[in-house]
Amino acid sequence: MSGVLRVGMVGYAFMGAAHAQAWRNAHRFFELPLIPELTAVAGRNPEAVRAAAERLGFASTETDWRKLVERDDIELVDICTPGDSHAEIAIAALHAGKHVLCEKPLANTIEEAEQMVTAASSAAERGVWAMCGFTYRRTPALALARQLVEAGRIGPVRQVRAQYLQDWLHDPDAPMTWRLDKSKSGSGALGDLGAHLVDTAQWLTGQEITGVSAVLETFVKSRPLSGERSGLGGHGDVSAAVPRAEVTVDDAALFTARFSDGAIGVFEATRFALGRKNALRIEINGTDGSLAFDFEENNVLQFFDGTQPIEEQGFRRILVTEPEHPYVNAWWPPGHGLGYEHGFTHQVVDLVSAIAENRQPTPSFDDGLRVQRVLGAVEDSAARNSAWITV
């Protein structure tokens, strides 16, 4: 390969902006074997995509993702679209010999994810690599937690409790979005938030979820089609003058789980936890210690060492900003914390390094499929009155 990696991105909204800043900035802080080049961005609206290209730093635009995939000057396709298009774009890009970064969840169905894994496996034989974008793996505090688990510092894992709490949909008059349409998003809080919990839990523990029992709930059955509110502040009936669309996904997901090495877990994902903005929380209890993390304090890891004398025991607050901590050495002096966007930068660093070294980046599409199978089992369980479903 040349000294650059030419990136074509499909989609340019929230995730597109987060990915673009990472592609722009990664080589300015980390020594990369290839320098990312923002070659093209694709979107359906010509004026909007041109404005996005100027804002995000892309050199050119396309209004058809197929043309972007076909371009000879694109070496990697970054998929930042709703889930209903992930499989088609990723498979086409891999067949065209392009590396692929695909946002989570990998697909809307298990079948789509399986097709993507097949395409990725075939492409890997040709040195073409695919990765699923679970960026919370790149949070330094969580990466440190993974190191501690791997080193045996908490002993064999017994229990996992994981929550992802947001509140942006608590108002029943909040407008309809694609995230509330199952045909586009695949599921609601389950796929949007729960996918992160499943991947994080499996990655941290080194175990796979083998069975689940679940409940899904949709609190608000319809949403206004426009951005207008009823004028009632979210209370009372919405005016008939504002048309509403049916919400076809879950607002909240709860499930219990068993893991492959005997651990048990409790999972909760919701967009109705009023007051919680982006609280991805996970606690792991082992035979010798515990670890706890909350993304709303994302530079902190709580560690309980049960091997210490009992009079010295207690949760220890580790401020994960030292040069010895994962990813941190490239950034600021100790005590100067990192934020949400840095996970995307670390994702670029790991992906570009893997491509340059001709090895499989992680999370792989296989990892994404494993998450998809858990999500499918959760939906199946909820549809069967919380029946136990083997993954």
Helix (H) or strand (E) holding 330: none
Asked if pLDDT for residue 27 goes beyond 70, the answer is yes
Reported pTM: 0.95
Contact 272, 192 (CB under 8 A): no
Task: Encode pLDDT of 318-354 as tens digits.
Answer: 999 999 999 999 999 999 999 999 999 999 999 999 9
Residue 27's φ and ψ, nearest 5 degrees, are -75, -10
Asked if pLDDT for residue 386 goes beyond 90, the answer is yes
Confidence of residue 230 (pLDDT cuts 50, 70, 90): very low
Between 385 and 237, the more confident residue is 385
Contact 278, 297 (CB under 8 A): no
CA-closest candidate to residue 69, choices 1, 5, 10: 10
Q: How much is the pLDDT for 241?
A: 72
- Residue 336 has, within 13 A of its CA and on its CB side, a CA count of 8
Confidence of residue 242 (pLDDT cuts 50, 70, 90): confident
Judge if the upstream peptide bond of residue 105 is cis by omega within 30 degrees of 0. yes
What span, in angstroms and rounded, lies between the C-alpha atoms of 180 and 342? Answer: 28
What is the length of the chain? 391
Domains, the chain, ordered by start: 4-136 (3.40.50.720), 139-338+369-390 (3.30.360.10)
Looking at the chain, list the stretches that DSSP marks H as alpha helix, in order from N- to C-terminal side: 14-29, 46-56, 65-70, 86-95, 110-124, 140-150, 182-185, 189, 195-205, 340-356, 365-383
What span, in angstroms and rounded, lies between the C-alpha atoms of 38 and 175? Answer: 33
Q: How much is the pLDDT for 240?
A: 57
Task: Encode pLDDT of 43-89 as tens digits.
Answer: 999 999 999 999 999 999 999 999 999 999 999 999 999 999 999 99
